[in-house]
Homo-oligomer: A and B are copies of this chain.
Amino acid sequence: MATLEFQVTGMTCGHCEASVREEVSEVAGVEDVQVSSQTGALAVSGADDINVDAVIAAVTEAGYQAVQN
């Protein structure tokens, strides 16, 4: 299992975390999403071929900005 790590800006609360988790969970190959509004950390685990751009696009869809660490 691969894990990709990102830094997300703009999240302020648990609702924001839930929005990011919901969108990122829909990306192909994603099996687990860990996200913290306090630190901005986003860890995405699953298949070896998770598309980084798709994860970033999912975060954008949720209304936030992500960059891969």
Contacts and interface: CB of A to CB of B under 8 A. Distances in A.
Contacts of A18: 15
A13 B11 CA distance: 9
A19 B16 CA distance: 12
Interface size grouping (class) on chain A: under 10
Interface of A: 12-13, 15-16, 18-19
A12 B16 CA distance: 10
Which are the 7 A-B pairs with shortest beta-carbon distances?
Answer: A15-B15, A12-B12, A12-B13, A13-B13, A13-B16, A15-B16, A13-B15
Contacts of A16: 13, 15
Nearest to A13: B12
